[in-house]
Amino acid sequence: MAAASQATPQNPGQNRHINVPFKISWSRQPDMSIHEQRLLLRIMEYCQAQINGVATKGICQVTPNHKTVEITMPLSDVFFSRRVSPKEAEECLLSLHRHTFQFQDKNMWWSCGYIEHPEVRFGQRIMSFGVYHRLWEIIKAYAEGFHKVELNKALNLPTSYAIRFYLLVSENKTDRMEMSVDVFKNWLGIPEDKYRDKKGNHRIDNLEERIIKPSKQSLDESCPYTFTYSKVRENPRNPKSRVVAFEFVPVEQPHMKDPELERKRLISEIAPSFLLSPEVYDYLKTNYGMTGPFLNPRKAKIKQWEDLEADPLGWLAARRRLAHEASTEPRNYIFGAMCRRIDELLGREETSQDMDARSSPPQPLQAQIEMKRKVDDLSNELANLFNPYDH
């Protein structure tokens, strides 16, 4: 497995919880490198953003085509070192392309690579690839095994072993997990003949010192969930008998949790009718048809907008006509506008439209308004295209 850099992301971005379908991303794919796992985390981040109705920003682009969803992203989102070599990027993309995902139920079977037609543009330091549309839909809809992890915590872990442990313990927060030594090695992608002595017995001391303890230390130092472990012996009464399994126990570290993410998690447990002011809730429900299924995954963002906006009802009323004239649904239009308004009020980001406006000759006011409307429509269509509540 590829060695991992201790470097931290150059532009880690805002931390967030993402839903990770552990069983479809890493089980049965034990030999993924840390860069491949980081790339999968980014794909899931973009997918989760679309589920929540939030478009990706800046250089990151997610464009649905007939058979694939095309993704463009900077190399720095996966390769945190500025000195990433062309060969390193090529090997990561080729390896993930060669890994196959298989789907089977009683009616059909199909298989595809985790990514398709990868491409790297070194001058621009960006990469692009496609995700097969069936796999993209499964990532979104896969209910079993979904759990929440803090994206930045997972990305910053120094080894692929540590990432796997973090995903495992954050998925099984209270369950004791016992793995035989063979299953444990297979889960981590350790070759069958590695960490064995001349007689073919497992070198448990090597597994502990080189894999388990360093991974535990990484989680202890930075993650909201870590673990303790014990060795299961063939004869429990004999402390010198052969070790046949490991037992892992998840341990919660509340002081390591991101306070803002905890606030959002608590908000997610409150019904929209209690979270939002009665006036705003009634206005959204009456004028834009925002009911529970639409509001629930978006209520934290709407609450953030309401807290920042000086006159929420006035702002909504001023955009009512534009929302109903937009090519997308009025509720999708207004939610996308709320997200952009939050960025504007916080002054956190500068949109690519602003940069283009400064570098281009001034346009007539009416042309600017028309262009802004088209950009808003397109942005909201992309943000909501895969929204399961809208189809």
Band the pLDDT of 373: cuts 50, 70, 90. low
pLDDT at 29: 56
Interatomic CA distance for residues 37 and 17, integer angstroms: 16
- Tell me if the domain spanning 163-259 has CATH number 1.10.3470: no
Best mean pLDDT range from 2-16, 17-31, 363-377 = 363-377
> Rg of the chain's alpha carbons, rounded to an integer?
24
Pick the CATH number of 17-156 from 3.40.50.300, 2.60.40.2140, 1.20.1260.10, 1.10.10.10: 1.10.10.10
The domain ranges of the chain are 17-156, 163-259, 270-390
Residue indicated by tokens 């894999």: 211
Q: Which stretches of 59-159 are DSSP H helices?
A: 86-98, 133-141, 151-156
Q: Is the pLDDT of residue 130 over 90?
A: yes
Best mean pLDDT range from 102-111, 140-149, 305-314 = 305-314
Quick one: average pLDDT of 35-60?
73
Q: What is the pTM of this model?
A: 0.49
Quick one: average pLDDT of 238-261?
86
**Cβ atoms 180, 187 nearer than 8 A:** no
Read off the pLDDT of residues 264-293 as tens digits, 9 standing for 90 and up. 666 666 778 888 899 999 999 999 888 888
Q: Both tokens of residue 34?
A: 């840390």
pLDDT at 8: 43
